[in-house]
Chain A
Amino acid sequence: MKFTWFHLMPWPHMPDDFRQKHRSVWVDLPSRMYEPERGHGIYHEYLDQLEFAEQVGFDGIGVNEHHANAYGLMPSPNIMAATLTRRTSKAALVVLGNSIALYNPPLRVAEEFAMLDVLSGGRLVAGFPVGTSMDTNYAYGTIPALTREKYAEAHDLIRKAWAADEPFAFNGRYTKLRYVNCWPKPIQRPAPPIFIPGGGSVETYDFCIDNTYSYSYLSYSGYLRAKLLMEGYWQRVAERKVDESPYRAGFAQVICVADTDAEAERLYGPHVNYFYNRCLHIYPGFADAPGYRTVKTIQTGALSQFTQAAARNYPNMTWKDLTEGRYVIAGSPETVRQQMEEMIKTLRVGNVFCLLHLGNMPDDKVRHSTRLFAEKVMPHLRNLWPDWNNHDDRFWVHPMSERLAFKAAAE
């Protein structure tokens, strides 16, 4: 198993009447709510938490990209990952990821990811999300029905740029470059491991299988509701007659660990509430621009994560509803271990993106929950896939063994 400690970096000062005063945490929330001087401390606290996660033994630390929102304050996850390269040395840097259709030219992603891979000594996991409709269409203006074509072309360009050792011309529909010449190049050859966040479209299953990318389902509604979607993925893997390595898949899970189940509710209840009711308060009109998802995907009946969130009655869900429904895995180390094991086996996932910071959770609670998970839960979950020796080379990083010294040629 590979455990990545994942940060969303939300704005933790949304007021109690946030839902009444604002229709959406994303797209049209006035930015006067953001206070830069407070933001300074918050960014550093969040980065400290990611570094702490490495210290207590997580395999990876994760960041991602969002725009125009208070849910996640990383318009550029690469800036965050760059700071982490300097103060960590073991953990994979899971950038999940760069919304490649949004970069002009998308070669920028090839370059920046290469920079991160070189800076970190080959510790980059590169994520290529399409991006939420709020980010991609409403905040960044990409035409919904052309988003996927643009994404596919950007992916093609990035992979070619990493693979080539000589300049080449790229005549795309959306990007035309006479000289594609990616300096620097990534340490990991031919490319860092690539993770694709997906939400249930068959096209994405095939894209992952064709390219040997790990399919990552980023959900906040827990594994009971994710079961159907992941079964669809594994069914497709079987149909395509490729191996069933659990590392072909990952899942994001909200986790809260305390000494006892009751203590977990007392410590984390308010922050879980903040997360589900403020961070996920999205105006349904922004959740899924018409044309953003393919007709084929809509026909399978899969709704986007955020459309589902908008449709759910989170304001009226209690701690009991959220934990018994397994939206949240919370409780004593033993409770969490049992439910994590059930989740991992049910979904057949080798990667877990652990959400241990939630909403407005203060630093001491984040570290308490993180430490308990690392010390009392994680060790018992390490060997759930003995057939795979807890590792699949194709889906994890290949760091350098040591730093090469720079020796200037003596004249």
Chain B
Amino acid sequence: MKARFLTLGPTKSRIEIVEAGKGRDLLFLHGAGGHMRDDPLIATLSTKYRVVAPLLPGYGRSTGEDGLRDMLDVTLHALDVLAALDLKKPIVVGHSMGGMIAAEMAAVAPSEVAKLCLLAPAGLWLDEHPVADIFSKLPYELPELLFHDGELGRRLLASGGNMDDPEFLKQFLVMNARRLGMAGKILFPIPDRGLVQRLYRITARTLIVWGAADALIPPVYGHAFKKAISGSKLVKVAKAGHAVGHEKPAAVLAAIRDFF
């Protein structure tokens, strides 16, 4: 994996782009947690694709989050990044918040997104099946919420530092405030910014993948997306939680290869 930077728009935001692998172009949009260290999903996808994974402003070394306030800002930003990357008919893959952004891109600009893969996307709300409130969770609660195998989640989410060290804690809090502060603009307090009324516009061939044990956005949402996007296919992955791509990267890669 290597990183490079794009400079974007009148505000000159600096966007960090992680790239890995060779093959057909695949644009990957991360979820609210950002990339993991040695991200297992990016690593696995890059065995078969050229993965291009931009970081949203507020994440990693990407800047410009103050200029993004609402869903339209974020969607247009993502389309600007896609245009600047000059990819060849990429498969646009988005996880969770990234799935919400990918679906918005495909709905707002159907001619720009021909192949769409949504991994447990956010963006819909069903009163009978409320999405858990990720913002009020404490760090130690996240592995069980995001993974079927909590122990694996704890290992993958390990922050790589000691929370009792005040300097590390401060860095962690700053990083968390930047990332989830940005995510909150489209996910807080309810991750619904009207996507449901735009999904009909999607013309991309669409694959939806859901962890069968998703405790954050229950799998019933997979059916709601499938119903709203014509011709889409839903694949459920057994023994996987919300971080389906990180918990079962090989199964997700197989589903993508099979569909596209």
Contacts and interface: CB of A to CB of B under 8 A. Distances in A.
A248 B177 CA distance: 30
Task: Give the interface centre of B135, B176, B182, B185 by most chain A CB atoms within 10 Å.
Answer: B135
Rank and list the top 6 A-B pairs by shortest CB-CB distance, nearest first.
A291-B181, A290-B180, A145-B181, A285-B136, A141-B189, A291-B184
A301 B177 CA distance: 13
A295 interface: yes
A128 interface: no
Contacts of B188: 137, 141, 143-144, 289, 291
Interface string B104-137: 0000000000000000000000000000000111
B185 A146 contact: yes
Interface string A138-152: 100101111000000
6 contacts: A141-B189, A143-B188, A289-B135, A289-B184, A290-B177, A298-B174
A293 interface: yes
Given A138-B189, A146-B69, 12 more contacts: A137-B135, A141-B189, A143-B188, A143-B189, A144-B188, A173-B69, A285-B138, A289-B136, A291-B181, A294-B177, A295-B174, A298-B170
B189 A145 contact: no
A290 B188 CA distance: 10
Interface in A99-122: none
A285 B174 contact: no
Interface of B: 65, 69, 135-138, 141, 166, 170, 173-174, 176-182, 184-185, 188-190
Contacts of B69: 146, 173
Interface in A275-312: 283-286, 289-295, 298-299, 301
A259 to B, nearest CB: 44
Contact of B181 (A141, A144, A173, A301): A144
B177 A295 contact: yes
A286 B138 CA distance: 9
Contacts of A286: 136
Given A144-B184, A295-B178, A290 B135 contact: yes
Nearest to B134: A290
A291 B173 contact: no
Nearest to A293: B177
Interface string A292-335: 11110011010000000000000000000000000000000000
Contacts of A144: 135, 181, 184, 188
Contacts of B138: 284-285
Contact of B177 (A138, A146, A283, A298): A298
A276 to B, nearest CB: 22
A291 B66 CA distance: 11
A233 B141 CA distance: 37
A285 B177 contact: no
B173 to A, nearest CB: 5
A290 B135 CA distance: 7
Contacts of B166: 301
A143 B181 CA distance: 8
A136 to B, nearest CB: 11
A17 B184 CA distance: 35
A145 B185 contact: yes
Nearest to A285: B136
